[in-house]
A and B are shown apart, each in its own frame.
Chain A
């Protein structure tokens, strides 16, 4: 590498803390049913939206996202926590999650699914 580099590199910090959440939160098709103390939140994915697209959860509350798709395969990703799952047709995918901090967090489809893919997202409000 030449020493005559003229452009400053832009460094990005990755959120290492989120990775720890992912291992405990990965979704499984037809996974175990919710326990009694878990709140079930049903989410439908379809080109190019989630329903609901805004979800409110309390910090520390155990939730299970029950995801299904009305058309093709979609993805479900909460980038700030690296929580993700594939949502294939004909399956209910359960994703367990306990939010550890408050704030507004985006969720989105991360499987390129067509012309409206970029707009297929929603917000989780952790209070």
Chain B
């Protein structure tokens, strides 16, 4: 974000119409005094894109499969104010049993994503990218499956709950998460990025993380935690105690509401409503003297 833009201009440029959800992180005013919160605080926004499933084919589900990701990239590039960063929360590619084809899909996805004007782009694997080979191919294109970074006082933690085909974080990563959290003040604003839901949304459809409760237990002592994830191909909001979890739409096909049909399957394309149920979101972090609010705005594929 242009540091010369003041808050009033920032909010005007972003536009507040259409915001469908707002969540806040209180106590941000103290963040500067927290361990690890040394970077400069300030208003910012980021974009979450998810479940692009590059390589999927199915004309009845998405006859625009070749164009959907490109349309979304163009829409993000057309934003009046460019986000501070973009994060892809997994299932970058659609799975294939052919290891060579998996690499071709990852390469093509990366090429299209490189068309984003924003240079700070973060990637995470989904089970379609990483579960069949424990992220071997994924790591040939992207450097890490889980990591942390700090941005303007907010601590971001990207976790990997897909490289293990059970859909688990595993003990080693849980130890890594604990060690990271141990260095943070309890009031530190934290945003967790995941592919699968950390809570048991609907295990019948693999919409859970086998040891996600352990991660949530580690996060619960922290007052200001928000989770953004993908995997379920629809907007969804849930709370585990004080921690909100926000699922994002897909950029390839929507899925039905959890348990609403006997068999999980993509919702067919509606020619009268192209790209219905698909999209991406921007997340505005508005910094006030006593708190930080995260405001989520859902966008269609074309913005």
Which residues of chain A come closer than 8 Å to B132, judged between CB atoms?
112-114
Query: Is the Cβ of B26 less than 8 Å from the Cβ of A9?
Result: no
Instruction: Contact check, A9 vs B166: say whether CB atoms are below 8 A apart.
Output: no
B202 touching A9, Cβ below 8 Å: no
Binary A-proximity of B1-39 (CB < 8 A = 1, otherwise 0): 000000000000000000011111110000000000000
* CB–CB A2/B20 < 8 A: no
Q: Is A6 in contact with B22, judged by CB distance below 8 angstroms?
A: yes
Q: Which of A62-86 contact B (CB under 8 A)?
A: 73, 75, 77, 79-80
Indicate whether B299 reaches chain A with its CB closer than 8 angstroms: no
Considering the chains assembled together, what is the distance between the CA atoms of A117 and B94 in angstroms?
12
B204 and A12 within 8 A (CB): no
Contact (Cβ within 8 A) A1 B206: no
- Complexed CA–CA distance, A77 and B23 (Å): 36
Q: Is the CB of B22 within 8 A of A9?
A: no
Contacts of A79 in B (CB 8 A): 203-204
Size category, B interface: 35 or more
Q: Are B95 and A75 in contact (CB under 8 A)?
A: no
Which of B24, B96, B201, B236 is close to A115, meaning CB atoms less than 8 Å apart? Answer: B96
Given contacts A12-B258, A112-B131, A114-B97, contact A7 B291 (CB under 8 A): no
Interface string of A8-47 (1 = CB under 8 A from B): 0111101000000000000000000000000000000001
A106 interface contact, C-beta 8 A: yes
Q: Shortest beta-carbon distance, A7 to chain B, in Å?
A: 5
Are B23 and A1 in touch, CB under 8 angstroms? Answer: yes
Q: How far is the CA of A115 from the CA of B96 in the complex (A)?
A: 6
**Which residues of chain A are within 8 angstroms of B21 by Cβ–Cβ distance?**
5-7
Give the A-B contact count at a CB cut-off of 8 A: 73
Contacting residues, chain A, for B258 (C-beta < 8 A)? 12
Are B26 and A2 in contact (CB-based, < 8 A)?
Answer: yes
Contact A118 B204, CB 8 Å, known A1-B244, A6-B22:
no
Q: Roughly how many angstroms separate A6 CA and B97 CA in the complex, as a whole number? A: 43
Is B237 in the interface zone, CB < 8 Å from A? yes
Cβ-neighbour of A1 out of B20, B24, B201, B203 (below 8 A)? B24
Do B127 and A112 touch across chains, with their CB atoms under 8 A apart?
Answer: yes
Q: Kindly list chain A residues whose C-beta atoms are within 8 Å of the C-beta of B166.
A: 75, 110-111
A73 to B206 CA separation, bound complex (whole angstroms): 17
Size class of the contact patch on chain A: 20 to 34
- Establish whether residues B167 and A112, one from each chain, have CB atoms under 8 Å apart when the complex forms: yes
Please determine whether A9 and B238 come into contact, CB atoms closer than 8 angstroms.
Answer: yes
| Minimum CB distance partner of B224 in chain A | A1
Is there contact, CB below 8 Å, between B22 and A118? no
Asked if B63 is an interface residue, CB under 8 A from chain A, the answer is no
**What separation, in Å, do the CA atoms of A118 and B131 have in the docked complex?**
14
Which B residue sits closest to A114, measured CB to CB?
A: B97
Contact A112 B237 (CB under 8 A): no
B205 shortest CB reach to chain A, Å: 9
Other than the given A6-B22, A79-B204, A118-B264, 7 more pairs (CB < 8 A) read A3-B24, A4-B24, A5-B23, A9-B237, A12-B200, A77-B203, A115-B96
Interface residues of B (CB under 8 A from A): 20-26, 95-97, 127, 131-132, 162, 165-167, 200-204, 206, 236-239, 242, 244, 258, 263-265, 291, 293
The 9 closest A-B pairs by CB, nearest first: A2-B24, A112-B131, A79-B204, A112-B165, A112-B127, A111-B165, A114-B97, A7-B21, A7-B237
| A to B CB contacts below 8 Å, 26 in the list | A1-B24, A1-B25, A1-B242, A2-B22, A4-B24, A4-B293, A5-B21, A7-B20, A9-B237, A10-B236, A10-B238, A11-B238, A12-B202, A73-B165, A79-B203, A80-B204, A108-B204, A110-B167, A111-B165, A112-B131, A112-B167, A112-B206, A113-B165, A114-B95, A114-B132, A115-B97
